[in-house]
Amino acid sequence: MSGRVVAATWVFTGRTDAVIRDGAVALDGHVILAVGARHDIERRYGRAERLDAVLLPALVNAHTHLELSHLRGRVPGGVGLAPWIRLLVSARAEDPRPGRALDEAILNLEEAGVAAIGEVTNTLAALPHLARAGIAGTLYHEVFGFSDARIAASLAAADEMLARASDPGPGLAIARSPHSVYSTNPRVLAELLRAGPASVHLAEDPGERIFCAAKAGPFASLQRMLGPVEVCPLGRSAVAVASPHMGPRSLAVHGVDLDADDLEDLARSRATVVLCPRSNLHVGGRLADLPRLLADGIPLAVGTDSLASSPSLSPLAELAELARAFPQLSPAHLLPLAWNGTAVGAPTVGRLAPGSAPGLVAAPLDGARPGDPAAWLVEEFGAAERPFAWIARARPTQSARGT
């Protein structure tokens, strides 16, 4: 592939809400050479191919579990998190392997314009599929077990799996992660969060607060179901327990049940909060307080969670849900949540920076003439889950492998 100049009605540059009307991108293969006004780019790089489209950097799905893709539509929601987990565990026990659903999930990610991912996994099943598709990011290799014996067995199983796994190749890293405060031995939870990149489900449900403060409620029953366990209350809330060990490479997934102290703790940790609104509505009927998170300057990203709790793997469809729920927020301010490649260890993804290959996608306008391209992209193109056309693919510049 050689040089190519592509012009479009609108060009988003990514990471922020900056957008250029009648813009263009000059490419050398998949690498961005320059982005700017069409007349300027054409003067420097020659005549552009014109697209009636919105051009934008490829997107980031910062939280999903691809290995649960075959459970799509099979785990009813509306019951709260602890009962939902019981239903998920029994559905997965009956049918543990994703099979062809994994291939379909990769296609769904491509249509949704996704170039980087935060994949949470117990099996590493998606690793070869992601590597083949050239999707960058981090596989958060999840361990859980509250008692010393159970967590030791989970860590040993994860070690064994990692030893057998294929090399993740360029752009993909593997990082051991705790599932959640209510499911993971507190000592190991702290060690894993301190060790480097890690993802943890946090403040997804009010029951976590009761579990941490009083060792009671639905998560205490869930623990008792898994085996005898005697621990004292852990702390004021799940965030109070986890956040002292979190840093800028930590992902706190969900953040639905946060009080003022939790928000302060999270801001201090500099962790990224990953919102999964459609999954939250399915499981517990409640959303994170996005206006408050934005006002507090907490780093944010968006994920879909698995197809067991979400209808698709499209980050833009998640933003459409947020736009519906929070009409006071401008869609332009939502888009950067889907361009946070840094959060999942893929810093080139999400911004059309010269010299990098972040992946470039086009949303065909099909004759639409939006005054606000961000609102059109989120509320029409994204809400309808229309497929993106890929103009250039993401190409990671270096190989990274975690522990």
**Between 205 and 305, whose beta carbon lies closer to Zn ion?**
305
Give 99's contacts (C-beta < 8 A, 6+ positions apart).
70
Residues 19-30 as b or e (16 or more Cβ within 10 Å = b):
bbeebbbbbeeb
Backbone φ/ψ region at 240: left (φ over 0), alpha (ψ -120 to 50), beta: alpha
Q: Which helix (H) or strand (E) holds 266?
A: helix 260-269
Residue nearest to Zn ion (CB): 305
Please name every residue paired with 7 in a beta bridge, in sequence order, or none if there are none. Answer: 24, 50
Q: How many CB atoms lie within 10 A of CB 265?
A: 22
Would you say 402 and 138 are in contact if contact means Cβ atoms under 8 Å apart? yes
Residue 146 DSSP one-character state: S
Which tokens hold the place of 239?
A: 């965030």
CB of 358 to Zn ion, least distance (A): 25
**Between 119 and 305, whose beta carbon lies closer to Zn ion?**
305
Helices (H), 125-206: 127-133, 148-164, 186-195
Helices (H), 95-217: 101-111, 127-133, 148-164, 186-195, 207-214
**Between 200 and 210, whose beta carbon lies closer to Zn ion?**
200
**Between 304 and 348, whose beta carbon lies closer to Zn ion?**
304
CB of 335 to Zn ion, least distance (A): 23
**Between 14 and 98, whose beta carbon lies closer to Zn ion?**
98
**Between 305 and 379, whose beta carbon lies closer to Zn ion?**
305
CB of 59 to Zn ion, least distance (A): 18
Would you say 172 and 126 are in contact if contact means Cβ atoms under 8 Å apart? no
d(CA 313, CA 102) in angstroms, rounded, equals 12
Distance between first and last Cα of the chain? 35
Would you say 384 and 105 are in contact if contact means Cβ atoms under 8 Å apart? no
d(CA 245, CA 178) in angstroms, rounded, equals 12
**Between 110 and 305, whose beta carbon lies closer to Zn ion?**
305
**Between 68 and 361, whose beta carbon lies closer to Zn ion?**
68
Which tokens hold the place of 243?
A: 């956040």
CB of 306 to Zn ion, least distance (A): 6
Would you say 109 and 132 are in contact if contact means Cβ atoms under 8 Å apart? no
**CA within 13 Å, CB half, 223:** 25
CB of 195 to Zn ion, least distance (A): 20
CB of 98 to Zn ion, least distance (A): 15
CB of 343 to Zn ion, least distance (A): 15
Question: Using CB under 5 A as the criterion, which residues of the chain lie in contact with Zn ion when the complex forms?
Answer: 305
Q: Which helix (H) or strand (E) holds 389?
A: strand 389-394
CB of 390 to Zn ion, least distance (A): 27
Residue tagged 């479009």 (tokens): 8
**Between 85 and 377, whose beta carbon lies closer to Zn ion?**
85
**Between 183 and 185, whose beta carbon lies closer to Zn ion?**
183
Which tokens hold the place of 143?
A: 């361990």
Q: How many CB atoms lie within 10 A of CB 247?
A: 14
CB of 65 to Zn ion, least distance (A): 6
**Between 134 and 303, whose beta carbon lies closer to Zn ion?**
303
Would you say 315 and 350 are in contact if contact means Cβ atoms under 8 Å apart? no
